[in-house]
């Protein structure tokens, strides 16, 4: 048979490409094609079985009773299911096989500061291809998680993202500065929730008004926030400088679709906030 002409390494490469912890049957059937291949894949099949069992356990925490149900789900919500950082890392590895998932919501404060970085680090190019809404509200993201999420987006994960919820996720200016370029390369982004984070002015400025390129530098990447409709910023630490940057972005037409903006409970002055709302009202006329 044709498989017999391949080396053991080549057979293992083919087998590894077929390994899907949510649907291991294809890989097992392939390994059954010959006794030699069955013996050769013994260790990876054991790993695949362990991955299948772990994925099934993770799915049950989201109310999915089988890997098949998880694989076919369009919406998955983990809300105070006490997911660990290991669970989030596993979820990241499943990003390439959750091909129909459209909405992913996590509210897991106990996952710890390394949970979201581990999730994002496992998201390769094209991971979570159908997800339009990612909600990490009240899950610790922090600056490290924001940077990891930026890297995942840069690799091509979440290509259809439209709604990103990052409220109460401990993201500061450094995290938003790292994340801003990746978000600006997501032209389909419509909703961004950043409320209840320790953001000040630098992060917001990087998001809505990236620094001017020095003379002779290549042009900035295409994209921008052309379709952003909602920007939630209340209970952040944005002051007058951030509001000025936001007002200038509105006046310049950099946020042409924006029609909802919440600046409640900011340290910014009433005058600075009024200038932003005036710019928004002028745009919406």
pLDDT confidence of residue 41: 81
Residues with Cβ within 8 Å of residue 39, at least 6 apart in sequence = none
Residue with tokens 């912890």: 21
55, pLDDT greater than 80: yes
For the stretch 217-262, pLDDT in tens is 455 555 689 999 999 999 999 999 999 999 999 999 999 999 999 9
Distance CA 118, CA 142 (A): 13
Distance CA 101, CA 111 (A): 22
**Helix (H), strand (E) counts: the chain:** 12, 7
Which helix (DSSP H) or strand (DSSP E) does residue 272 occupy? helix 270-284
Contact by Cβ (8 Å): 18, 26: yes
32 — pLDDT class (breaks 50, 70, 90): confident
pLDDT confidence of residue 285: 79
Across 3-27, average pLDDT:
71
The structure's pTM equals 0.89
- Alpha-carbon Rg for the chain, nearest whole angstrom, is 22
Distance CA 53, CA 183 (A): 35
Distance CA 276, CA 262 (A): 10
Nearest to 263 by CA among 285, 280, 284: 280
70 — pLDDT class (breaks 50, 70, 90): very high
Burial class (CB in 10 A: 0-12, 13-18, 19+), 230: middle
Beta partners for 14? none
* CA-based end-to-end distance of the chain: 71
For the stretch 77-95, pLDDT in tens is 999 999 999 999 999 999 9
The share of the chain scoring above pLDDT 90, in percent, equals: 72
Contact by Cβ (8 Å): 157, 185: no
Distance CA 123, CA 121 (A): 6
1, pLDDT greater than 60: no
Angle of helix 240-252 relative to helix 270-284, nearest 10 degrees? 10
Torsion of CA 131, 136, 140, 141, to 10 degrees: 50
Nearest to 120 by CA among 155, 145, 86: 145
pLDDT confidence of residue 106: 94
Across 31-57, average pLDDT:
86
Tell me the domains of the chain and their CATH numbers: 8-63 (no CATH), 64-212+221-284 (3.80.10.10)
282 — pLDDT class (breaks 50, 70, 90): very high
For the stretch 172-217, pLDDT in tens is 999 999 999 999 998 899 999 999 999 999 999 999 986 565 555 4
**DSSP structure class, residue 169:** S
C-alpha distances out from residue 174 to 20, 152, 200, Å: 36, 17, 10
pLDDT confidence of residue 264: 95
Nearest to 261 by CA among 252, 250, 253: 250
pLDDT confidence of residue 8: 56
pLDDT confidence of residue 110: 82
Interior CA angle at 203 toward 198 and 205, to 5°? Answer: 135
For the stretch 97-134, pLDDT in tens is 999 999 999 999 888 899 999 999 999 999 999 999 99
* More confidently predicted of 173 and 29: 173
């Amino acid at each position: 048979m044709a498989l017999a002409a391949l080396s053991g390494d080549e057979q293992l490469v083919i087998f590894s490409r077929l390994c899907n912890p949510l649907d291991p049957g294809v890989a097992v059937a392939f390994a059954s094609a010959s006794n030699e291949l069955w013996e050769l894949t013994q260790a990876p099949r054991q790993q695949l079985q362990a991955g299948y069992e772990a994925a099934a356990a993770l799915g049950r925490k989201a109310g999915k009773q089988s890997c098949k149900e998880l694989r076919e789900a369009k919406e998955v919500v983990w809300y105070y299911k006490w997911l660990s950082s290991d669970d989030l890392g596993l979820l990241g590895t499943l990003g390439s096989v959750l091909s129909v998932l459209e909405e992913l919501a996590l509210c897991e404060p106990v996952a710890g500061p390394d949970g979201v970085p581990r999730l994002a680090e496992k998201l390769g190019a094209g991971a979570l291809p159908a997800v339009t809404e990612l909600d990490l509200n009240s899950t610790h993201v922090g600056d490290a998680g924001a940077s990891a999420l930026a890297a995942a987006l840069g690799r091509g994960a979440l290509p259809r993202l439209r709604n990103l919820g990052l409220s109460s996720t401990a993201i500061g200016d450094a995290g938003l500065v790292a994340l801003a370029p990746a978000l600006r390369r997501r032209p389909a982004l419509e909703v961004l929730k950043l409320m209840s984070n320790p953001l000040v002015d630098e992060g917001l400025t990087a998001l809505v008004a990236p620094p001017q390129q020095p003379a002779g530098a290549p042009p900035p990447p295409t994209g921008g926030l052309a379709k952003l409709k909602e920007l939630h910023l209340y209970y952040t630490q944005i002051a007058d400088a951030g509001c000025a940057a936001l007002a200038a972005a509105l006046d310049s037409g950099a946020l042409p679709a924006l029609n909802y903006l919440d600046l409640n409970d900011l340290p910014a002055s009433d005058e600075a906030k009024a200038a932003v709302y005036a710019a928004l009202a002028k745009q919406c006329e």
